[in-house]
Amino acid sequence: MSICHLLNLRHPIIQGGMAGISDAGLAAAVSEAGGLGTIAAGNFTPDIVVAQVRKARKLTDKPFAVNIMMLSPYAEDVISAVIDERVPVIISGAGAPSGLASRCKEKGIKYLAVVPSVAIARRMEKSGADAVIAEGMEAGGHIGKITTMCLVPQVADAVSVPVVAAGGIADGRGMAAAFMLGAQGVQIGTRFLAAKECPIHQNYKDKVLKAKDIDTEVTGSITGHPVRALRNKLTALFLAAEKEELGKDEPDVKRVEAVGAGALRKAVVDGDTEYGTLMAGQIAGLVRIEQTCEEIIKEIAGQYSELLK
Ligand code: TUI
């Protein structure tokens, strides 16, 4: 079954759930434009997420998703709350929950899992996921170890549910390439950072718009949760702390983690581009102008269908 049919979409384009960023306004704008908008639960409490879900319902009657970040201390409670709300689609990320698919199925909710490897893709298919989103390490935020180019065809060969490609895709060329690799849809985050409806601080948006191809850095590998973000004073501090700790017999991982505490909020809300975490993918260099979600989706879908001709 195609992703459009499965999720009732006009375009097989999913807006990536970006922790602390993608709210009801962004999600509804993407859904209204025919893609699948996604509210990111991130580290929010269930009441905040439920308020966003209700807001999205007021803004659109089209399907939208809630992305649950499994590293959140509230993940379990958020899952129960959004299942009770009967959201159209749930997407898990940063972890592989085992019983979620059957709970979703009972309520008629579609469930997609973001996966960073073939083994986890297989596990999520077995657990009952309706589709998997194979996310390569070109992506922004918390990433796996393998590139989209290598991950997508290997996942496509390993599972029989539809595969959505993520990481490094921002235009119709990337979308066409993903389909050639066996994907039936794409998940796009970084390009939507520059959407008019994206609620990040303008300083953050401007950094994305000005970013060049090699302007991202991966920090936090020592913590087991590597994160890709635009290079700034914070990433330099992070990398220096990691290097120091790695040289010790007993590395102090907590000290490295402390460098990033509260830094996403600093970027998103305060617009601190030096000490905030400016999460973005390697494709940021391709994102040049601020556009509405409708313009972004129309442009990508148009380029894609031209290329297929
Ligand atoms: O989750 C993401 N991207 C994110 S989450 C996030 S918030 C955050 N901030 C600081 C540190 C960590 C997170 C920002 N960006 N993408 C999807 C993704 N899922 N990437 C990696 C995974 C993943 C990893 C392990 C999915 C499943 C998995 O399973 C492990 C297991 O065996 O349970």
Out of 14, 72, 78, 114, give the residue to mutate to test ligand 1, the one with the largest number of ligand atoms within 8 Å of its CB: 114
Exposure string for 158-193, b = 16+ CB within 10 A, e = fewer:
bbebbbbbbbbbbbbebbbbbbebbbbbbbbbbbbb
Q: How many whole angstroms separate alpha carbon 53 and alpha carbon 122?
A: 30
Question: Cα(276) to centroid of ligand 1, in Å?
Answer: 19
Question: Cα(271) to centroid of ligand 1, in Å?
Answer: 24
Question: Cα(184) to centroid of ligand 1, in Å?
Answer: 22
pLDDT in tens, 99-114: 999 999 999 999 999 9
Q: How many whole angstroms separate alpha carbon 172 and alpha carbon 288?
A: 15
Q: Tell me what percent of the residues of the chain surpass a pLDDT of 70.
A: 100
pLDDT of residue 264: 95
- Taking CA atoms only, the protein residue closest to ligand 1 atom 14 is 141
SS3 229: strand
- Taking CA atoms only, the protein residue closest to ligand 1 atom 28 is 95
Q: Given a cut of 90, is residue 260 above it in pLDDT?
A: no
One of 3.40.50.620, 3.20.20.70, 3.40.50.1100, 3.40.50.300 is the CATH number of 3-198+288-308, namely 3.20.20.70
Q: How many whole angstroms separate alpha carbon 208 and alpha carbon 221?
A: 23
Enter the DSSP assignment of 269.
I
Parse the chain into domains and list their residue ranges: 3-198+288-308, 212-279
Tell me what the pLDDT averaged over the chain comes to: 97
Question: Cα(95) to centroid of ligand 1, in Å?
Answer: 6
pLDDT in tens, 39-94: 999 999 999 999 999 999 999 999 999 999 999 999 999 999 999 999 999 999 99
- Taking CA atoms only, the protein residue closest to ligand 1 atom 23 is 94
- Taking CA atoms only, the protein residue closest to ligand 1 atom 20 is 143
Pick the range with the lowest mean pLDDT from 130-139, 180-189, 260-269.
260-269
pLDDT in tens, 172-181: 999 999 999 9
SS3 24: helix
User: What is the separation of C-alpha 50 from the centre of its chain, rounded to a whole number of angstroms?
Assistant: 19
Out of 38, 78, 126, 142, give the residue to mutate to test ligand 1, the one with the largest number of ligand atoms within 8 Å of its CB: 142
Q: Given a cut of 90, is residue 1 above it in pLDDT?
A: no
Inter-residue long-range contacts of 270-273, CB under 8 Å, 24+ positions, other chains counted: 270/201, 271/201, 271/202, 271/203, 271/204, 272/203, 273/203, 273/204, 273/207, 273/232
Question: Cα(133) to centroid of ligand 1, in Å?
Answer: 12
Q: Given a cut of 90, is residue 261 above it in pLDDT?
A: no
Question: Cα(13) to centroid of ligand 1, in Å?
Answer: 20
Amino acid letter, 141:
G
Residues with a CB atom less than 6 Å from ligand 1: 19, 69, 71, 93-96, 114-116, 120, 135, 141-144, 225, 227, 279
* Contact criterion met (CB below 8 Å) for 208 and 229: no
Closest C-alpha to 16, from 110, 122, 93, 85: 93
pLDDT of residue 80: 97
Enter the DSSP assignment of 267.
I
